[in-house]
Structures are given as structure tokens and as C-alpha cells.
């Protein structure tokens, strides 16, 4: 029987759709680990990136953090977190949060810097104060790139969460790691498909959210800088 | 699960005597890491450069190639390794197909950005001086696109060095093999050594490529 037929059989087996090792449970685990890490990362990264971008300070740091983020192997971060904090979700979430931060800092910094200085002058001329200018003029214009940063982080976190199975984490990565260990190619292959679909679904759904959040008037402005934001891959 | 606190006392982050007796192991890991990275970069360039030139010339190639490799880039490496194992087994080919594919996207984008940015006036001047299309491409357009291509190569190199560690899952890994050893044996030294060396390798490669760019494209200093 071909591998694809075995995989199809694996998916149709009702045993794989229930219990603590079933697909629904693993999906919830994967989404929970990823979601909590991205949310925590955003809480830390966005204020920093937006603040630095608004005031135009520490630009090298805001850009450089992504270069460092690329250079630090995600696999190593996970294992180090495991060695320091032991078993459980805490080390995984801490590691994933650390990985989520750099693209969000860099992109939100760039997003704020890319706001046309003439627009800021106009806002100032119309009597906007610092905070109102940031909230009502700069942030709406920066939404596309900020969202691109969140999307990039989220896809990387979903990918790295699959690796967390190596340090006894849950999620779809379990099928890949257990399948490899048991030389069960159908399980390993099915897990790989689930991880791939989840990563693509994350990308597409956040892209959809981004389209909804972008103020209508600035849709044309979003193309050029956003490309730069997408080139970040650590897992 | 052993008591972590206790382990931390008996196992220092760096055990120098282990390190001094395992220099060949570490060097072999570095060597495998570099080889895996170089293959991934050479493969990426070999596909991205001709594809980029073609997609620049025939614009209807652009969207399908960028979308196709964009989807590939979104798929996690662990997922691609696992999908390939039934077909290509545990080994270099399984490791390199995803790594090359990721680099193609990064490099393809940058080849296109570089070629698109050549000013039309320059192209007119080249045409006026009698350059034929191939000569214009090789002697005018590609040199002017080099800074953008180097920027892509630097990102691709640093990313690849990081992702290579994950190939430890399929029995390769270079320095990733030492990270895995640190995990399996709960032994900190190989983990710390491999992490530090992987970061150093990425930074050295980045600085080296920046230097190469200065030599190759002296007019682009400061970009």
C-alpha cells in the first residue's frame, strides 16, 4: 500500500479523532501554545516598536533585533528553555514568545517610520497633540506593516510550536516526532500535513484580518515596504 | 523528571574538560553545518538567478513563481522534512530540498527588486551605446542589481544557518546534532557550545558577505 493510501487511512481512523492524542486535542494544544505566545510577544514588542518608531530613536536596535532573531536557532532556544525551566508549557511559551518578538518590533518600528512626514506635519498643523496624532493619524497608516509583522511572527511561532514536541510539548508536532520515533510513516506524514495546513491557514486568516483592518483610504499604500517584512524564517 | 535545580548544580553550563576532549566532534559538526548551508545557498542561487531574470523579462512568470515559492516558504521546515522522508529517506536530499526552496524565495524577491530598480535612463543609454540584450543584462543590469541581490544573500545565509540546526531531527543537523545531544542527555555543554557557535557562524557569514559586497560593488557603499 502506498504511503498516501496509508495516510488517508490514518485520517479516516476514528481513533485519531478522539482522546488526548486525537486531532482535535492536538489542534487546541497547538493553537493555545501559539496564540498565547504571539499575544504575549505582541504585548511586549508592539509598544516598543511603535514607541521607537514614533519618536524615531534606537533605529539600529529596532532593525537589528530581527537580524539577531534570524541568527539565533529556534531549536536551541526551545532546548535551552527546557533545560532551564523543565517540563511543561511555560518553557515552550517563553521560548516561542522570545521568537515572536523580533519581527514585530522591527515591523512596527518601520511602519511608524514610513508614515509620510508631510502627513505628520499636517496633523500637527491641524492641532493634534502627540498622543492623538499617534493614535488617530500614524497608527492607522501603520496598520498594514504592523499586521505583516504579527503575521510573520505568528507563522514562525506555529512552525516552531511543532518543534516543541521535541521537548515533550503537545500540538501537531507530536505526530511528527512520535511517528519518526516509532517509524510510523503514516503518522509522521499526517502530522506534517496538519502542521503545514495550520501554518498556511494562519498566514491566510491573518492576511484576511489585515485586509479588514486596513483603513479604506490607504489600501494603495501598502505594497512596497510590506515585502521586506515577510522575509523572516527561523523554523 | 529529574530535579532541575539539582541538575543545575552538578551540570555547569560549560564543562571545559568535555569541550577540550571533544574539539574534533565540535569541528565535525561545524563542518557539516557549513556544507549543508553552502549547498542550500548554491542551490538557491542556481534556481533563483535564472528564474528571476526570466520573471523580470516575462512578467507573467512573476506572480506564479512568487506565489508558488511563497507558499513553500510558509510551510515549516519540520513539516517538509517529514513529508519528504517517505520518498527521499533520511539524508542530505531531504534536508536540502526545503532549505533550497526557502532560499529561492528570498533570492528571487531580491533579484526582481534589483532588476526592477535599474533606472530606465540607464537602459536607454545602454541601448543607445549598442548593447545587445544579453550584453546589457550581463554588463549593465546584473551589476546594478548586485546590492539588492547581496542583501538577499545575507538574509538567506543567516536564516539557513539557523534552520540547518533543525535537520538534526532527520539525523543531520551540523551543530543541531550537538543541541539534540544536549537535550537527550540533559547535558548543557554541547547545547551551549552549539548555540553560541551557530550564532557566531551566522554573524561571521553576514559580516563576510557584507565585506564581499563592498569588494564586488564598490559604488554601493553605505547601502
Only one residue has cell 536596535, namely: A61
Residue B222 backbone dihedrals phi, psi, to 5 degrees: 95, -10
d(CA A173, CA A162): 4
C-alpha cell, B7: 541538575
Q: How far is A213 from chain B (nearest CA, A)?
A: 22
Domain boundaries, chain B: 34-174
| Burial class of residue A149 in the structure, from the number of CB atoms within 10 Å of its CB (0-12 exposed, 13-18 middle, 19+ buried) | buried
pLDDT at A231: 77
CA A163 to chain centre: 14
In this prediction, residues B186-196 reach a mean pLDDT of 94
| Burial class of residue B218 in the structure, from the number of CB atoms within 10 Å of its CB (0-12 exposed, 13-18 middle, 19+ buried) | exposed
C-alpha cell, B173: 543537523
Contacts of B171 in chain A (CB under 8 A): none
pLDDT at A227: 55
Q: How many CB pairs under 8 A join A and B?
A: 142
d(CA A73, CA B164): 9
pLDDT at B19: 87
Residue B13 pLDDT class (50, 70, 90 cuts): confident
What B41-44 contacts at long range (C-beta under 8 Å, 24+ apart), as own/partner pairs, is B41/B103, B41/B153, B41/B156, B41/B157, B41/B160, B43/B96, B43/B99, B43/B100, B43/B103, B44/B99, B44/B100, B44/B102, B44/B103, B44/B104, B44/B106, B44/B107, B44/B156
| pLDDT averages per 10-residue partition of chain A, 235 residues | 90 92 95 97 96 91 89 94 92 96 94 89 91 91 91 96 93 95 94 97 93 73 52 83
Quick check: B168 and A155 CB within 8 A?
Answer: no
C-alpha cell, B12: 555547569
ipTM of the complex: 0.90
Q: Give me the domains of chain A, ranges plus CATH numbers.
A: 3-229 (1.10.3720.10)
pLDDT at B5: 52
CA B20 to chain centre: 30
| Burial class of residue B74 in the structure, from the number of CB atoms within 10 Å of its CB (0-12 exposed, 13-18 middle, 19+ buried) | buried
User: What global pTM score does this model have?
Assistant: 0.91
Chain A contacts in chain B segment 162-201 (CB below 8 A): 162-163, 165-166, 168-169, 175-176, 179-180, 182-183, 186, 188, 191, 194-195, 198-199
pLDDT at A232: 85
Q: Is B147 a residue whose pLDDT tops 70?
A: yes
Q: Which CATH class is domain B34-174?
A: mainly alpha
pLDDT at A219: 58
d(CA A179, CA B81): 13
pLDDT at B10: 65
What are the pLDDT digits (tens) for B62-101? 999 999 999 999 999 999 999 999 999 889 999 999 999 9
Amino acid at each position: 500500500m502506498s504511503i498516501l493510501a496509508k495516510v488517508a487511512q490514518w485520517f479516516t481512523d476514528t481513533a485519531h479523532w478522539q482522546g488526548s492524542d486525537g486531532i482535535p486535542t492536538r489542534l487546541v494544544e497547538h493553537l493555545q501554545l501559539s496564540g498565547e505566545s504571539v499575544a504575549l510577544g505582541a504585548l511586549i514588542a508592539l509598544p516598543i516598536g511603535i514607541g521607537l518608531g514614533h519618536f524615531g530613536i534606537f533605529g539600529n536596535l529596532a532593525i537589528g533585533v530581527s537580524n539577531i532573531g534570524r541568527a539565533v536557532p529556534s531549536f536551541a532556544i526551545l532546548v535551552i528553555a527546557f533545560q532551564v525551566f523543565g517540563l511543561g508549557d511555560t518553557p515552550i511559551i517563553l521560548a516561542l514568545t522570545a521568537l515572536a518578538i523580533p519581527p514585530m518590533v522591527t515591523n512596527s518600528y518601520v511602519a511608524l517610520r514610513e508614515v509620510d512626514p508631510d502627513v505628520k506635519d499636517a496633523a500637527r498643523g491641524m492641532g493634534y497633540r502627540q498622543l492623538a496624532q499617534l493614535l488617530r493619524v500614524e497608527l492607522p497608516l501603520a496598520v498594514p506593516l504592523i499586521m505583516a509583522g504579527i503575521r510573520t511572527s505568528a507563522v514562525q511561532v506555529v512552525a516552531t510550536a511543532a518543534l516543541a514536541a521535541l521537548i515533550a510539548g503537545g500540538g501537531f508536532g507530536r505526530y511528527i516526532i512520535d511517528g519518526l520515533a516509532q517509524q510510523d510513516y503514516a503518522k509522521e506524514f499526517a502530522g506534517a500535513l496538519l502542521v503545514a495546513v495550520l501554518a498556511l491557514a494562519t498566514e491566510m486568516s491573518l492576511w484576511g484580518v489585515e485586509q479588514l483592518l486596513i483603513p479604506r483610504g490607504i489600501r494603495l499604500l501598502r505594497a512596497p515596504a510590506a515585502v521586506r517584512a515577510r522575509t523572516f524564517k527561523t523554523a | 523528571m529529574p530535579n532541575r535545580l539539582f541538575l543545575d548544580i552538578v551540570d555547569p553550563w560549560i564543562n571545559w574538560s568535555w569541550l577540550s576532549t571533544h574539539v574534533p566532534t565540535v569541528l565535525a559538526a561545524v563542518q557539516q553545518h557549513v556544507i549543508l548551508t553552502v549547498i542550500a545557498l548554491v542551490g538557491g542561487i542556481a534556481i533563483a538567478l535564472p528564474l528571476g531574470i526570466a520573471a523580470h523579462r516575462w512578467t507573467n512568470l512573476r506572480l506564479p513563481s512568487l506565489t508558488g515559492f511563497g507558499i513553500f516558504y510558509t510551510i515549516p521546515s519540520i513539516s517538509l522534512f517529514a513529508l519528504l522522508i517517505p520518498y527521499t529517506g533520511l539524508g542530505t536530499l531531504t534536508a536540502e530540498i526545503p532549505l533550497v526552496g526557502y532560499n529561492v524565495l528570498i533570492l528571487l524577491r531580491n533579484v526582481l527588486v534589483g532588476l526592477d530598480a535599474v533606472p530606465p535612463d540607464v537602459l536607454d543609454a545602454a541601448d543607445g551605446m549598442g548593447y545587445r540584450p544579453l550584453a546589457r543584462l550581463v554588463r549593465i543590469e546584473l551589476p546594478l542589481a548586485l546590492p539588492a541581490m547581496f542583501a538577499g544573500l545575507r538574509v538567506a545565509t543567516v536564516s539557513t544557518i539557523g534552520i540547518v540546526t533543525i535537520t538534526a531531527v532527520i539525523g543531520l543537523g551540523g551543530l543541531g546534532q550537538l543541541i539534540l545531544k544536549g537535550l537527550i542527555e540533559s547535558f548543557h555543554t554541547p547545547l551551549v557550545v552549539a548555540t553560541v557557535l551557530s550564532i557566531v557562524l551566522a554573524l561571521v557569514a553576514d559580516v563576510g558577505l557584507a565585506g564581499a559586497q563592498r569588494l564586488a560593488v564598490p559604488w554601493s557603499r553605505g547601502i
